[in-house]
């Protein structure tokens, strides 16, 4: 018998009475929004949804029409839930206040509505990453940013949806990682990857080697070491340019994904709150590790909503060697 996402989450939460009903209800917002987004992604190129929107987002990047559609869809679906106090998105400069002052508001939601925008128009895998945080302790300031600027260990749930050769939802509420594949014939997410454990060692590294002369030497030397057999295996390279897709492969097949700082992005290119944090939460829950080059991503203290970070995420063997290598170099 097939297990749908809905059934799985009911069972999961029954086992963990400390996880309240509202969290289930929030996960159902992810389901609804991702089904709407994937329907547009699947039709991209047919309707008028390809291409740019002639608007610049908060990072000075050109927004694609699908970025805008995905963002609006997620905001709408989450705003319907009374338990959502504040939302932050890659596409909005400031936090969006939803039901913050309601006594029912318990959660902050943070997301990258579409990751891998440069791949939209060429029909390559893209995704959505999300992170759910418990509201902060009540303070005098009670500013919307207080809800958002919380360390990754405060995440109560996180995950992503991949729009690839199939649509896959991967999530964790802090009790392992589970993956569901959308069965388009019935429109339901069906459990396809129960209790995902990242292989201790893989044989792929994922690193944009075009930037070799821009990345710090030690990262390039680390990758060279792996290529030369430092981990006792032959490694091959894969780089899609959608972090979420590169991570998904790393989660299932093992290996390492690396995006360090560059002169153009001195703090790294990826965003801490809605890209690195959910990925790090999933990685740790699956037995892997994620680092900003010096400390675990989940320990980084966020100071800004759109803060960037270097990201290195992978299996135990590659990450142990990474830490050892960084200490020596």
Q: Contact between 208 and ligand AHG (CB under 6 A)?
A: yes
CB 291 within 8 A of CB 322: yes
Q: Choose the contact partner of 241 out of Mn ion, ligand AHG, none; CB within 5 to 8 A by kind.
A: ligand AHG
Residues 102-161 that bind ligand AHG (CB under 6 A): 112, 115-117
Can you tell me which of 51, 241, 287, 296 binds ligand AHG, judged by CB under 6 A? 241
Q: How many residues bind ligand AHG (CB under 6 A)?
A: 11
Q: Choose the contact partner of 177 out of Mn ion, ligand AHG, none; CB within 5 to 8 A by kind.
A: none
- 144-164 burial code (b ≥16 CB/10 A, e <16): bbbbbbbbbeebbbbbbbbbb
Given the complex with ligand AHG, which of 6 and 208 has the nearer CB atom?
Answer: 208
Q: Which of 108, 65, 38, 86 is nearest to 277 (CA)?
A: 108
Given the complex with Mn ion, which of 235 and 274 has the nearer CB atom?
Answer: 274
Given the complex with Mn ion, which of 143 and 238 has the nearer CB atom?
Answer: 238
Q: Choose the contact partner of 242 out of ligand AHG, Mn ion, none; CB within 5 to 8 A by kind.
A: ligand AHG
DSSP-assigned beta bridge partners for residue 290: 313
Binding mask 66-95 for ligand AHG (x = CB under 6 A): ------------------------x-----
Q: Contact between 246 and Mn ion (CB under 5 A)?
A: no
Q: Choose the contact partner of 261 out of ligand AHG, Mn ion, none; CB within 5 to 8 A by kind.
A: none
Can you tell me which of 242, 250, 285, 291 binds ligand AHG, judged by CB under 6 A? 242
Can you tell me which of 33, 66, 198, 243 binds ligand AHG, judged by CB under 6 A? 243
Q: Choose the contact partner of 64 out of ligand AHG, Mn ion, none; CB within 5 to 8 A by kind.
A: none
Residue 240 CA: distances (Å) to CA of 117, 192, 251: 12, 23, 15
Which residue bears the tokens 């930037």? 211
Given the complex with Mn ion, which of 222 and 247 has the nearer CB atom?
Answer: 247
Task: Supply the minimum distance, in Å, between the C-beta of residue 325 and ligand AHG.
Answer: 22
Residues 102-161 that bind Mn ion (CB under 5 A): 112, 114-115
Given the complex with Mn ion, which of 112 and 261 has the nearer CB atom?
Answer: 112
Task: Supply the minimum distance, in Å, between the C-beta of residue 101 and ligand AHG.
Answer: 31
Give the binding site for Mn ion (CB under 5 A): 90, 112, 114-115
Binding site for ligand AHG (CB under 6 A): 90, 112, 115-117, 208, 241-243, 259, 269
């Amino acid at each position: 018998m097939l297990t749908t996402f809905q059934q799985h989450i009911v069972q999961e939460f029954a086992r963990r009475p400390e996880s309240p009903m509202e969290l289930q209800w929030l996960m159902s917002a992810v389901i609804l929004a991702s089904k709407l987004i994937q329907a547009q992604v699947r039709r991209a190129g047919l309707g008028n949804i390809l291409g740019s929107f002639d608007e610049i987002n908060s990072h000075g990047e050109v927004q694609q029409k699908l970025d805008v559609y995905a963002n609006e869809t997620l905001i709408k679906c989450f705003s319907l839930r009374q338990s959502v106090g504040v939302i932050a998105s890659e596409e909005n400069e400031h936090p969006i206040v939803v039901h913050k002052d309601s006594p029912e508001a318990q959660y902050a939601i943070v997301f990258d509505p579409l990751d891998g925008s440069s791949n939209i128009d060429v029909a390559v895998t893209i995704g959505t990453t999300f992170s759910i945080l418990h509201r902060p302790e009540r303070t005098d300031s009670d500013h919307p940013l207080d809800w958002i600027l919380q360390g990754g260990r405060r995440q109560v749930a996180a995950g992503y949806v991949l729009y690839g050769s199939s649509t896959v939802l991967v999530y964790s509420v802090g009790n392992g990682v589970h993956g569901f594949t959308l069965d388009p014939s019935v429109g339901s997410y069906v459990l396809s990857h129960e209790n995902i454990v990242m292989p201790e060692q893989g044989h792929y590294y994922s690193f944009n080697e075009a930037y070799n002369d821009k990345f710090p030497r030690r990262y390039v030397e680390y990758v060279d070491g792996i290529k030369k057999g430092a981990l006792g295996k032959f490694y091959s390279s894969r780089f899609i340019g959608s972090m979420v897709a590169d991570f998904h492969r790393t989660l299932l097949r093992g290996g390492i994904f690396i995006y360090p700082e560059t002169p153009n992005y001195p703090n790294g290119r990826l965003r801490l709150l809605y890209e690195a944090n959910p990925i790090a939460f999933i990685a740790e829950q699956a037995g892997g590790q994620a680092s900003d080059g010096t400390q675990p991503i989940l320990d980084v203290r966020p100071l800004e909503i759109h803060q960037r970070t270097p990201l290195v995420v992978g299996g135990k063997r590659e990450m142990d060697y990474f830490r050892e290598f960084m200490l020596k170099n």
